[in-house]
Amino acid sequence: MPQGLFITGTDTEVGKTVVARLIVRALVASGVRVAVMKPVAAGAVMTAAGLRNEDALGLMAESNVEAPYATVNPYCLPAPVSPHLAAREAGVRIDLVQLRAHFAALDAMADLVVVEGAGGWFAPLGDDEFIADLAAALDLPVLLVVGLRLGCLNHALLTVGAIRARGLTLAGWIGNHIDPHFARVPDNLATLERHIGRAAIATVAHAREPLATGGLGPTATAALRHAATCKHLT
């Protein structure tokens, strides 16, 4: 049975990559062999080694399981737009069967795999498939990154409802302080806890360089390890 976490967010630009990197860093520090995957990345630059995406490279920098770039990021698309538009522009079709095969290769190398999605839960991958379909194909517990800003309650609760309606496991949620001027943070966190049914695994403080100053504590790390190996959370 595959083990790992699928990281999604309440929207684009809510800090999924920052949180995913902090998760990988914490798990690695606790002695876990962690592979990473960014199945679809829209927005890349050409390098001597080929197209490369900054988020995928950042995840790889945290991992302690070495894997080829093409396995970590099978669909590296040049245009920084919605994945389905970037794929269309590049003349490719995102194939979930191929993505499952790449994931299986990573799963065989590691104790668990941290997979970061693209955009939000219903970001389109093609005419009829979405990030939600990718998460279902990989059959991993889903961890939700909530960008703490005005509107996050609606976005978070809609996403949680959609994850559960799909029959997937909600591994938990992490609040990310992306807006330093967001008012009533404790009240919003309490509202999310009440309606989701559990407290945040962690909250990430707002910082200019969160990867340089932030980290996840031992309690959060233990919760993540448990979530990544359990398919029966609610």
Secondary structure (H, E, C), 81-127: CCHHHHHHHHCCCCCHHHHHHHHHHHHHHCCEEEEEEEEECCCECCC
Three-state SS at 165: helix
Task: Please report which helix (H) or strand (E) contains residue 189, including its range.
Answer: helix 185-196
What does the pLDDT read at residue 205?
A: 87
Amino acid, res. 150: L
* Alpha helices (runs of H) in 8-95, residue ranges in sequence order: 16-29, 54-62, 69-72, 83-90
| Per-residue buried b or exposed e for 94-113, using 16+ beta carbons within 10 Å of the residue's own CB | bebeebbebbebbbeebbbb
pLDDT of residue 1: 61
| Radius of gyration, alpha carbons of the chain | 17
Contact (CB, 8 A) for 185 and 54:
no
Terminal C-alpha separation, the chain: 19
Please, what's the largest Cα pairwise distance for the chain?
A: 50
- β-strand partners of 203: 175
CA proximity to 78, closest of 58, 52, 48: 52
DSSP state, 78? S
The pLDDT of residue 230 is 73
* d(C-alpha 186, C-alpha 200), whole Å: 12
- Name the residue among 165, 169, 176, 170 with its Cα closest to residue 207: 176
Distance of CA 148 to the CA centre of its chain: 16
Phi-psi region of 219 (alpha: psi -120 to 50; beta: other; left: phi over 0): alpha
Element (H, E) at 51: strand 50-52
Q: Record the tokens describing residue 145, joined without a space.
A: 């990154």
Respond yes or no: is residue 38 known to be catalytic: yes
Handedness of CA 36, 168, 187, 226 (dihedral sign): negative
Catalytic residue chosen out of the listed positions 16, 21, 25, 38: 38
Digitized pLDDT (tens) for each residue of the chain, 234 residues in all: 678 999 999 999 999 999 999 999 999 999 999 999 999 999 999 999 999 999 999 999 999 999 999 999 999 999 999 999 999 999 999 999 999 999 999 999 999 999 999 999 999 999 999 999 999 999 999 999 999 999 999 999 999 999 999 999 999 999 999 999 999 999 999 999 999 999 999 999 887 777 876 678 899 999 999 998 876 555
